[in-house]
Amino acid sequence: MLRPAFVVAAALIFGFVDPVLGDDSPDQSERIEAVDCSTLTGKVMCGYQGWFNCEGDGAGLGWRHWGRDSKKPLGPGNVTVDLWPDMSEYSPGERFATEFQHSDGSVAEVFSSANEQTVRRHFQWMREYGIDGAFVQRFATSLRSPASLANRTAILNHCRRSSEENGRAFAVMYDLSGLREGELDVAEKDWTRLVNEEAITSSDAYLHHNGMPLVAIWGVGFAERHQPGAYTLDDCKALIAQLKRAGCSIMLGVPTGWRELNRDCVTDPAVRSIFEMADVISPWTPGRYRNPEQAQRHGEQTWQPDQQECGANGQGYLPVVFPGFSWFNLRNGDAPLDDIPRLKGQFLWSQIIAAKKAGAEMLYVAMFDEVDEATAIFKCTNDPPQGRDAKFVTYEGLPSDHYLKIVGRAAQLLRGEVASTETLPSEWLTTQVSTAGTAEAGNDPVQPPASHANQVVSDDLSAIRKFVSGQCLDCHTGSDAEAGLDLQAFDFGADQFAQPDFATAEWEKILRRVNTRQMPPPDYGQPDEATYSRVTAALVSVLDHHAQQFPRPGRVGVMRRMTRVEYQNAIRDLLAVTIDASDYLPKDESSHGFDNITVEELSPTHLNRYVSAAQKIARVAVGGLGNGPAGVTIRLPADRSQEKHVEGLPFGTRGGVLFDQHFPQTGEHEIELKLTRDRDEQVEGLHREHEIDVLVDRARVHQFKVFPPKKTGKYGGPDYTHSDSHLKQRLHFDAGRHSIGVTFPKTFSSLTEGKRQPFDANFNRHRHPRLTPAIYQVSIVGPFAPEGPGNTTSRQAIFGEHWSGENANRDDAQTILTRLARRAYRRSVTDDELDLLMNFFDEGFSSGNFDEGIESALTALLVNPNFLFRIESVDPNSVASP
């Protein structure tokens, strides 16, 4: 657990404020820890469609799910979405231009789910707002086309990597919509391929439930789907049975009336036996109620008895909530716009409260990214495309992250971390205030030279004035001016253009619209081409002249945080401690071979991880023990064969693991081994006696023997479930870094290891059981009866080579910290900076332990921006003039 003092210190040092939520955001430390992927219980999961494609995204599928005709450009008359994504945070490589325009005349853009950077961005939002993860939709009908299959698999892998990088959970959800009788095997074959070829369940981020990978199947028992010719209940039962035999737990997406076989559910009693096969039941509710009052009644009359029924059957119950609904464009205008209003989030929140009151322990939000039916919760704009054929719903003027905040709060509510309230916080319902055109902090206006007014070409101003007076004032005059642009209020004199606060942003918009012949509109009569050319040249001339006289180059100093590799190397050079930074810090985004793309950003994850990393590294370097014996567990992938020699281990051995471990103090440590098991928890491949060597610094220090259960007089031991229970031993380790190896001495038997084994990757333990045992995990706990930190290289780097520690006092600490800070900050240390470190030393030294004081101060040093950031001042006079 993080010490509160360090959390507060880090916040003060960095001056951190969440760039997305501001001060009303949920507690950061609660939102950015990695999700426990071992169970669905306690999770708020979103549906992730990931089905949007754009022309030019490499998938060759055109404008799929954006336009009615995917082969035609996305634009007026060819659109099927009712919400428009907020594209302000997307990079240029993620944006795809459409034929729509915003109110300012700019081209409306959208994203493609085939772009991995876009998917990563979406999962970063899940992490930042505390959403636990996503069920990645996999439509069975799309798996029969090679192009669609390749696209959907690529997007699933984007989701996998994004989940791993952001500590989120993900799982596959098969939607059976559109399949015919006898066609459900397409889902079973696809799952087999995902497991064997994509190794999807080997990801640490893949969601499990009841000890097995969770697979969701949506569309079982709906009356409208089980029509003649469509897939049958028997088809569903066979698919579920196949997946359960493959070692999966099952979540079923079922009708609202599943419990009583009424409403939207089939009435055939045979469906009950299918529902009973599920580990989790999730009834579909979008459209079943339309306002908060109806949602409250649904919770009382449907969710509560559903929850009780599932509890009695030993099943999980996953209610579905949704923010609103609109499919005007999808239905080509044959449905109301904003059919189920969002009510600024109160409709969604009322469902969340109703689910909580019904006893829900998990929640499904439909959906994260579905703008087709306007059920999306991700960032959408309040400025959608404008025009005669453009009708969209918005977030009612609220910030684009409003619904992400609500769902993040729902996760906290579900876990009992915040109190239940019937309404949303009032401050969340404040409409968004535009800050466009305001100056950045620290960029004070530059005073113009006195000669500037004389340098503006009067002919250019005259041409602009004439054009505006003759072509624009009919529409752009007064309080009801088109697009709010009142040109009559502008002063076209040279003195107006000579001011540093001249509205260049507005005139840049005018230039774009004039240059593209959109101003004035075609139906209002347009000037000849010569006039257009003259006015365009005049606007460019005036704007360029203003930019030259009043440049805003921004900050010319260089400030960037260290990349993960640089951080790892800096710790090594400063403290003589070798770490793997991937164990402590999130992955750096990379592009075109560079890993410093986002080094000017500081995410909430980085802030928290820096504090956690500093505490752990300082303790290791000083040799502190914390609150008692600590442990480390190294776990090997369960789907890998261990029949080959592992590089670094002795020749003549097979399998096992080799890793480095830092021991903070000398003493006894207990090492414990676990062997791989099958799904019945039986140790695999244990058909005869085997030896297991434990090596420290490449020398064997202990040998275990493991036996199969007693079958003959030769072998004796416990049953297969406990055959490795004795594989633990206490060993003495000196403080410092040691190489630990665990491996099997190889024996040559034509009946076992000489046989052809499965490929090393994608080892399928269910279809190809192991012929010999394999290491699953190695745990080391200690020290027991510690003998002291010794004179390790890290302590020498901190205290000096000849440090004895006798009669150490505050002056010694100041000398040590001055030397460390000078190296860490890469410059001399100021008195104020040293005083800050000494304050932390005093806090740790209050117990009388000098090492604890140094550990406390070292932790503060490692989270200081002077260490984490490269800050290089540049003389503005050395920057080339424009």
- Indicate if the pLDDT at residue 12 is higher than 50: no
In eight-state DSSP terms, residue 130 is: T
- Indicate if the pLDDT at residue 456 is higher than 90: no
- Indicate if the pLDDT at residue 494 is higher than 90: no
In eight-state DSSP terms, residue 594 is: B
pLDDT of res. 632: 85
Q: Sort strands 316-317 and 280-283 into parallel, antiparallel or unpaired.
A: parallel
Can you tell me the distance from the alpha carbon of 783 to that of 661, in angstroms, rounded to the nearest whole number?
13
How remote is the C-alpha of 718 from its chain's centroid? 44
CA angle 799, 804, 810 (to 5 degrees): 60
Contact 101, 94 (CB under 8 A): no
Two domains, one topology: 32-429 and 630-788: no
pLDDT of res. 60: 92
Asked if residue 520 has a cis previous peptide bond (ω within 30° of 0), the answer is yes
- Indicate if the pLDDT at residue 757 is higher than 60: no
pLDDT of res. 475: 81
Least confident interval from 79-88, 192-201, 278-287, 820-829: 820-829
pLDDT of res. 808: 87
The structural architecture, per CATH, of the domain 32-429 is Alpha-Beta Barrel (3.20)
How remote is the C-alpha of 853 from its chain's centroid? 36
Domain extents for the chain?
32-429, 452-549, 630-788, 810-872
pLDDT of res. 514: 81
Structure tokens at 514: 């004039």
Contact 15, 394 (CB under 8 A): no
Which contiguous run of DSSP H or E holds residue 560?
A: strand 558-561
CA angle 285, 287, 291 (to 5 degrees): 100
Can you tell me the distance from the alpha carbon of 81 to that of 432, in angstroms, rounded to the nearest whole number?
23
In eight-state DSSP terms, residue 270 is: T
Q: For 341, how many CA atoms within 13 A lie in the half-sphere containing its CB?
A: 6
- Indicate if the pLDDT at residue 555 is higher than 90: no
* Segment of 425-439, 649-663, 715-729 carrying the highest mean pLDDT: 649-663
Contact 122, 165 (CB under 8 A): no
DSSP letters, 452-514, are HHHHS-HHHHHHHHHHHHHHTTTTS-STT-GGG--GGG---SHHHHTSTT--HHHHHHHHHHH
Q: For the whole prediction, is pTM greater than 0.85?
A: no
Structure tokens at 718: 């416990």
What CATH class has 630-788? mainly beta
Phi, psi of 593 (to 5 degrees): 85, 0
- Indicate if the pLDDT at residue 622 is higher than 60: yes
Task: Label residue 748 by pLDDT band (50, 70, 90).
Answer: low
Structure tokens at 662: 């830092």
Phi, psi of 463 (to 5 degrees): -65, -40
Percentage helix, strand, coil for the chain under 3-state DSSP, each rounded to 5:
35, 15, 50
Tell me how long the chain is. Answer: 882
**Start-to-end C-alpha separation, the chain:** 52
Please state, for a pLDDT cut of 90, what percent of the chain lies above it: 51
Using the CB atoms, write b or e for 286-321: b if 16+ within 10 Å.
bebbeebeebbebbeebbbebbebbeeeebbbbbbb
Phi, psi of 737 (to 5 degrees): -95, 135
pLDDT of res. 458: 59
Sign of CA dihedral 859, 863, 869, 875: negative
* Segment of 413-422, 429-438, 711-720 carrying the highest mean pLDDT: 413-422
Count helices and strands (H / E) in the chain.
Answer: 23, 22
Can you tell me the distance from the alpha carbon of 492 to that of 868, in angstroms, rounded to the nearest whole number?
50
pLDDT of res. 214: 98
